[in-house]
């Protein structure tokens, strides 16, 4: 009886395929639909190379996550790793708050992509009516926000179907598009300078954000020591290949002028080359569903993260309060994300989100390096991952600083807000404890 009960328990746990699916679903959310045109305008024919550059950084970081997840299984994922290895303090607390801010930025990114792709289904398209795009951006956040108030699991129940649908659509686009690719457009002569290629890879790094969600499921997997490293490796490997192929189809199918004109919905435009208007609409609908589900999931996760940070004393106590039956963080995430989506262009939002996740991932790699002896990590790989993230962040900031000061200003404001909130929270706790002693 004991063996059969154990076998039944193991069957209910997540295997390699299931864990990898969590990472793939997290990465192939709305990101690729949002940032593909941004990368293509920056890197030209070397857009697939830009995705490889970003993928290498993601793969190195995924290796650190896999070791940390095996050694310290926790639903807290990133937050738990940082706090455990570096201790709870003002800097680590600020980093955890920055992670939440990163989810705010990705909410804005997905909402912007939702607005632009959905607008193409209306007469005049995305370029015909800026007001329409703005209205759809508002709808893209307001709808999932309302769903979270009523039934947060409503879209979550269909998430696996949405993931399968968008992967099928991407496979169709690749299959139909590869024969139509003009390889001359991918030749080194069509590449932008190396600095621009690397900068593009970092600008769209947010498209790889999501593999870390596997760590949050680490307590639910079967045989973690075997399952987690394989799941992280499979997820990042599959997504890198997928992104490179999709990027090749887009750049190889469209001229530079066409990419520039359709930067916000370039994947749909590329699909129309081989599949006509049907392909365009299929991709647009897929992007609409993918970004909508991504917004819903991000709002849900960000709200819970902010609530958890507040209970651990890393956000002000007000974040522990419920407003309309949901954590206050849900409403702040939705409101701030909406403001970013309306006020900032897509490239700026992508830069802000990518910079935040590169910063967070640099620290996670540093954590794996510091705890290498305890978690069985390769110190060289962990150090390389930390340096790759830090160096990539530097390149991104330099490139963005030259071309997009608004993005730098927004990033600075968000990070200062994270640091300030953590400082004030700890100051409040110290004052409260001191007064309690007297």
Q: What's the pLDDT at 305?
A: 82
**Structural domain includes residue 37:** yes
**Structural domain includes residue 8:** no
Q: Is the pLDDT of residue 309 over 70?
A: yes
Higher pLDDT, 119 or 151: 119
Residue 257 CB contacts under 8 Å (≥ 6 apart), including other chains: none
Task: Say if residues 30 and 291 touch (Cβ distance below 8 Å).
Answer: yes
197 torsion bin: left (phi>0), alpha (psi -120 to 50), beta (else): alpha
User: If you average pLDDT over residues 250-275, what whole number do you get?
Assistant: 86
Per-residue pLDDT reduced to its tens digit, 141-195: 998 888 878 765 555 566 667 777 878 888 888 988 888 888 888 888 888 888 8
Quickly count: other Cβ atoms within 10 Å of residue 228's Cβ. 26
User: If you average pLDDT over residues 101-118, what whole number do you get?
Assistant: 91
What whole-number distance in Å separates Cα of residue 366 and Cα of residue 364? 5
Q: Is the pLDDT of residue 306 over 50?
A: yes
Q: Is the pLDDT of residue 1 over 50?
A: no
**Structural domain includes residue 434:** no
Q: What's the pLDDT at 353?
A: 92
Where residue 38 sits, what CATH number does that domain have? 1.20.1740.10
Task: Say if residues 348 and 109 touch (Cβ distance below 8 Å).
Answer: no
Q: What's the pLDDT at 436?
A: 54
What whole-number distance in Å separates Cα of residue 250 and Cα of residue 230? 30
**Structural domain includes residue 11:** no
Quote the number of domains for the chain.
1
User: If you average pLDDT over residues 359-364, what whole number do you get?
Assistant: 94
Its domain, for residue 215, covers: 16-426
**Structural domain includes residue 435:** no
The Cα-based distances of 255 to 36, 162, 249 in angstroms read 14, 31, 12
Per-residue pLDDT reduced to its tens digit, 198-246: 988 998 898 898 888 888 888 888 888 999 999 999 999 999 999 999 9
Q: What's the pLDDT at 5?
A: 44
**Structural domain includes residue 432:** no
Both tokens assigned to 25? 């679903």
The DSSP line for 336-351 is: HHHHHHHHS-HHHHHH
Q: What's the pLDDT at 8?
A: 42
Task: Say if residues 336 and 421 touch (Cβ distance below 8 Å).
Answer: no
What whole-number distance in Å separates Cα of residue 388 and Cα of residue 386? 5
**Structural domain includes residue 188:** yes
> Which range is most confident: 14-23, 162-171, 255-264, 374-383?
374-383
Q: What's the pLDDT at 172?
A: 87
Q: What's the pLDDT at 425?
A: 63
pLDDT over 70 percentage in the chain: 88
**Structural domain includes residue 10:** no
Q: What confidence category does residue 315 fall into, taking pLDDT thresholds of 50, 70 and 90?
A: confident
The Cα-based distances of 2 to 5, 92, 245 in angstroms read 5, 43, 48
Residue 265 CB contacts under 8 Å (≥ 6 apart), including other chains: 37, 116, 117, 120, 126, 284, 287
pLDDT over 90 percentage in the chain: 32
Cβ neighbourhood burial of 193 (10 Å; 0-12, 13-18, 19+): exposed
Higher pLDDT, 73 or 90: 73
The DSSP line for 23-75 is: HHHHHSSSHHHHHHHHHHHHHBTTHHHHHHHHHHHHHHHHHHHHHHHHHS--T
Q: Is the pLDDT of residue 262 over 70?
A: yes
Q: Is the pLDDT of residue 434 over 60?
A: no
Q: Considering only CA atoms, which of 420, 368, 346, 361 is closest in space to residue 393?
A: 361
What whole-number distance in Å separates Cα of residue 383 and Cα of residue 370? 9
Least confident of 44-48, 88-92, 317-321: 317-321
Higher pLDDT, 9 or 258: 258
Per-residue pLDDT reduced to its tens digit, 25-66: 888 877 788 888 888 888 888 999 999 999 999 999 999 999
* Mean pLDDT for all residues in the chain: 84
Least confident of 80-94, 133-147, 234-248, 417-431: 417-431
Both tokens assigned to 279? 């392909």
Q: Which helix (H) or strand (E) holds 322?
A: strand 322-323
> Which range is most confident: 80-89, 246-255, 316-325?
246-255
Backbone angles phi, psi at 14, to 5 degrees: -85, 130
């Amino acid at each position: 009886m004991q063996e059969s009960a154990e076998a039944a328990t193991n069957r209910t746990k997540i295997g390699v395929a299931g864990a990898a699916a969590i990472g793939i679903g997290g990465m192939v959310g709305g990101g690729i639909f949002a940032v593909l045109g941004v990368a293509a305008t920056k890197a030209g024919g070397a857009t697939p190379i830009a995705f490889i550059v970003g993928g290498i950084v993601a793969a190195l970081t995924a290796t650190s996550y896999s070791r940390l997840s095996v050694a310290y299984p926790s639903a807290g994922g990133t937050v738990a790793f940082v706090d455990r290895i570096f201790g709870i303090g003002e800097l680590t607390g600020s980093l955890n708050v920055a992670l939440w801010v990163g989810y705010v930025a990705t909410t804005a990114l997905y909402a912007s992509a939702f607005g632009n792709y959905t607008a193409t289904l209306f007469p005049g398209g995305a370029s015909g009516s800026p007001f329409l795009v703005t209205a759809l951006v508002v709808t893209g956040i307001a709808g999932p926000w309302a769903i979270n108030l009523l039934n947060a699991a409503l879209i979550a129940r269909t998430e696996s179907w949405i993931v399968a649908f968008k992967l099928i659509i991407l496979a169709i686009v690749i299959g139909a598009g590869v024969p139509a690719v003009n390889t001359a457009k991918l030749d080194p002569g069509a590449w932008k300078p190396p600095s621009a290629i690397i900068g593009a890879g970092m600008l769209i790094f947010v498209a790889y954000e999501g593999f870390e969600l596997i760590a949050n499921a680490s307590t639910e997997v079967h045989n973690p020591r075997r399952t987690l490293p394989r799941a992280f490796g499979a997820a990042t490997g599959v997504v890198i290949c997928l992104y490179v192929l999709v990027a090749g189809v887009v750049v190889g199918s469209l001229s530079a002028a066409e990419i520039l004109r359709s930067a916000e919905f370039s994947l749909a435009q590329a699909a129309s080359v081989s599949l006509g208007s049907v392909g365009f609409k299929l991709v647009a609908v897929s992007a609409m569903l993918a970004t909508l589900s991504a917004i819903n999931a991000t709002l849900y996760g960000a709200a819970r993260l902010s609530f958890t940070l507040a209970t651990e004393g890393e956000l002000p106590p007000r974040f522990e309060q419920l407003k309309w039956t949901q954590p206050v963080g849900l409403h702040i995430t939705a409101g701030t994300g909406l403001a970013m989506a309306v006020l900032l262009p897509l490239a700026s939002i992508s830069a802000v989100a990518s910079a935040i996740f590169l910063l967070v991932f640099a620290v996670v790699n540093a954590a794996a390096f510091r705890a290498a002896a305890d978690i069985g990590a390769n110190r060289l790989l962990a150090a390389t991952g930390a340096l790759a993230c830090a160096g990539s962040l530097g390149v991104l900031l330099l490139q963005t600083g030259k071309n997009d000061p608004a993005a730098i200003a927004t990033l600075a404001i968000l990070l200062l807000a994270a640091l300030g909130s953590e400082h004030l929270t700890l100051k409040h706790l110290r004052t409260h404890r001191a007064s309690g002693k007297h």
